[in-house]
A and B are shown apart, each in its own frame.
Chain A
Amino acid sequence: MTNCFINKLRRTAIGVFKMIPLPIEQLEWLLGTICLIPILIWFVIAILLCVWVYRDAESRGMSGVLWLIVVLIAGIIGLIVYLIVRKEKPTAPAPAPVTRICPNCGRSIPPEVKFCPHCGKELA
């Protein structure tokens, strides 16, 4: 009974489909044009990716232009290679501690003190 129903449904669908005059060529043209939008978005994503690679490479002391060209030509493979070989980001060196030298005893003293903690000399 289920098979009978499915066959009936199938025949109805085919019958309806045959009745509708589908402008296949125009539909294809429309669909093809609509499909250009995602392709354009992929293009924009690729450009943004290349820009990111350039900036990231420059920030790591590598040649941004070279890696931009590599990623442009090699695509996803170029990106993977870049992620593998890129250098560590240079960390900013710790700031040197600010100290003063006592004019009396010549030892290092903190900058904010008014008297030398070693010899007791009053500081200007």
Chain B
Amino acid sequence: MPTLEDAIVHFFNFIGRLVCHQIPERTLWIGDRYLPVCARCTGAYLGLYIGYLILPLRRKEESGPPNLWITLLMTAPMIVDATTQLIGFRTSTNELRLMTGLLFGVALTPLLVYLLPIIPTSRKLPIVHNFFPKSVRPDDKKSWLSHKAFGLGLTLAIASFFVINSMSGSSNELFYWLLSPLIITSVVLHIFLLPILVLALSAAYLIKKRIKRG
């Protein structure tokens, strides 16, 4: 009969299986277990959380998107790393997968937070609406997120890389129980709950518009 611990690990692996290939050679081994997702996904999902940490450095009065060149420079390595491996051009390493994933996640969060207010009803969201830009104007040259914020994001991503890399291969179970819930909550939040939130906000906006019209 499985223990509670086994059941939770099984649940984590089940959620991870929905979004990741979980190939053992490409997954970090921590606390005598494989993490629920591969190294790249680990980096990406944890990077998404780090991205939220840089939002306090936003410029509330500006309407332009986060610096798109920096966003591209931080998101492209993961895509290039994954694509070149997929087409058989080269084989990546877990360290590279983890680092590129972290950078991708850190750069993606500000872009997601910037774009969400396109749905007007999203401004009604409690607490979260404080982090939105005043207006969304992609043509505006004055960026809503400063270079300092990206600098902080890069620093946190590099620091996280060294911390997670040092945990890799360790038999200390605490590390597994530290990282796995974070990864799984990030997966659930960003892959499963976020689109439902977008759908609900869009539906609320359309219904409101229809009521106003007639």
Contact = CB atoms under 8 A, between A and B. Distances in A.
A89 interface: yes
Interface in A69-123: 74-77, 80-81, 83-84, 88-89
Contacts of B18: 32, 35
Interface residues of B, number: 27
A4 interface: no
> Main SS of chain A's interface residues?
helix
B65 A13 contact: no
Interface residues of A, number: 26
Contacts of B196: 37-38, 41
Interface majority SS on B: helix, strand, loop or mixed? helix
A76 B75 contact: yes
A102 B154 CA distance: 70
A45 B195 CA distance: 8
14 contacts: A14-B3, A14-B4, A24-B10, A32-B18, A35-B192, A38-B195, A38-B196, A41-B199, A77-B76, A77-B79, A80-B71, A80-B75, A83-B65, A89-B139
Interface of B: 1, 3-4, 7, 10, 14, 18, 65, 68-69, 71-72, 75-76, 79, 108, 111, 138-139, 191-196, 198-199
Interface of A: 13-14, 17-18, 22, 24, 28, 31-32, 35, 37-39, 41-42, 45, 74-77, 80-81, 83-84, 88-89
